[in-house]
Every structure is written in structure tokens, then in C-alpha cells.
Amino acid sequence: MATSDIEMTGTKRSGEEIGNVYRKKFKASELPISPGQRAAIDNLLYSFKKKGGFDAARKKIWAEFNNDSEAKKSFIVSLIEMAESEIERDPSLLSRERGKAATLIEGAVDRSDLYKSVENAIDALSANCLEEILDTLRSIRRQEVGEEIATAEQRKGNTTDEEYARLVEAKRQEREEARLKELEMKKKLEEERAKAEAEERQRQRELRRQQKEAERKEREEREEKRRVEREKRREEERKLEEQREKEREERRRRRDEEEREHRERRREERERERGERKRT
């Protein structure tokens, strides 16, 4: 409100234009000003309040509203009608204590739009005081920084409502672009992180596959080695058995030969004995 008006312009405005400026409400973050300018405005408003400018404007506005204005008369009439309507709706209000009844009626007034007309009237009265407030603020600023700097600031702040709205919209657009850029960057980072995680999972799967393949080959090599050793042992046992069989066969052959020789000697002895008996 006043924050956006201090550096606006030194030219005179119509009542309607001043009212429009008064009702413009921008967030502090939307104002195209630097932190230093923001601090200067805050200090200026503090000085304005400290030197009584705020109280003087408030008292003047209240006096104009309270001095038999149509807005006050209309408000009082509407307030009386609202109270009568509440009493008609709930006659027990008349038998209640005055404080409790007043509280209930005030609650009904708060829930209605009755205060809206008063707020609009006060806004209009405040707009009428805007030029006087601006003059007071500029005077305080000249005392603080000097005529030359204050004039330069006023000239720099001589911006129309349309230009100022464009500046605010440009800043909003800039913030929106920054937000979209941040979202895009965040999305890109998330995609890169997801890609890296997928690649890591693939790498881990490949490592596990290679490990299983190495274990399989090692297991096959161990089994092949055991098979070769078994074959070797069987071959050695076969050869040993063949050697033993040869030895057994040789022993049987010698035994048979010895038996034949023994039988031959026995036969020769018997023939010799028979020959001797014949000679005798």
C-alpha cells in the first residue's frame, strides 16, 4: 500500500486513480526493489509513524467518517436493522443481560457483510489523504538523504500504474521461469540418479553373474579333477589287479608244473620198483 506509493510519482492524480493506487496490494516479495531499498522504505515508514504522521492521518480519516457522513449514517441504519432482525428472529435476546445480548448481536454483524460498506468508505477517505501522506513521506525522505538524492529517487519512482504492473508481472514471470527451471533441473537430476542407480543395479547383476559363472567353472574343475583322480585310481587298481592275476597265474602254472614233475617222478619210481621186482 504505502510501501508501493512512496517512490511512485510526484504528479497529481485524480481521486479515482489515487483510490486504485491505494487498493493495490502487492506482496513484499513481488516488489521489484533491492534489500537496501526495502530497508529504506521500512525506515521511512517507521519515521512517519514515530513523527505522528500515521496517527494524524488516522484521526483525520476517522473525523471525516464520524462527522455526519453518509457512510456513517448508512452504517448506523443498517446496524439498527440488523439488531431488530436478530431480535425478531430470537426475542429471548430482550430478556438476556445487556452484555450477552450485545455479544450475540455483534456475532451476527461479524458474520454478515455489514462492515464491508464501512471498509469501502474508509478506503475512499484514506485515498483522499494519500497525496498528503505522500508529501509528508517525501519531506521526511528529503530530511534524511538530502534534496538531490530524494529528487532522484522520486524521478526514478515516477512510474505509471501500468508500467508498475508490468514490472510486477515481469518479476512474477521471472520467478515462474526460475521455478520451472528448478523443476526441470530437479527432474534431470532425478533422471540421472535413476539412470545411475539402474546402471549400478545392472553392474551388480553382472558381477553376481560373473561370480556365479566363476564358481560354476571352479566347481566343474574340481569335479573334473576328482573324476580324473578316480579314473587314475581305477586304472592303477586295474593294473595292480592284472599284476596280481598274473602272479596268481604264474603261481598256478608253477604249482601245476611242480605237480606234473612230482607225478612224473612218482611214475618213474614206480616203474623202477617194478623193474627191480622183476629182476629178483
Q: What is the pLDDT of residue 4?
A: 35
Buried/exposed 247-258: b ≥16 CB within 10 Å, e otherwise: eeeeeeeeeeee
Structure confidence by residue, pLDDT tens digits, 159-191: 777 877 888 888 899 999 999 999 999 999 999
Structure confidence by residue, pLDDT tens digits, 41-72: 888 888 888 888 888 888 888 888 877 677 77
Structure confidence by residue, pLDDT tens digits, 202-261: 999 999 999 999 999 999 999 999 999 999 999 999 999 999 999 999 999 999 898 988
Q: Angle at CA 12, nearest 5°, toward 11 and 17?
A: 110
Residue that wins the pLDDT comparison between 106 and 209: 209
Residue that wins the pLDDT comparison between 127 and 107: 127
Give SS3 for 44: helix
pLDDT above 70 for 9: no
Taking residues 81-107, what's their average pLDDT? 73
Please give the grid coordinates belonging to residue 121: 468508505
Most confident of 101-110, 114-123, 234-243: 234-243
| Gap between the Cα atoms of 276 and 280, Å rounded | 6
Q: How far is CA 118 from the centre of its chain?
A: 44
Segment 272-277 long-range contacts (CB within 8 Å, at least 24 positions apart): none
Which of 136, 128, 103, 118 minimizes the C-alpha distance to 6? 136
Q: What is the pLDDT of residue 83?
A: 76
Taking residues 71-81, what's their average pLDDT? 78
**Alpha carbon separation from 258 to 248, 249, 270 (Å, rounded):** 15, 14, 18
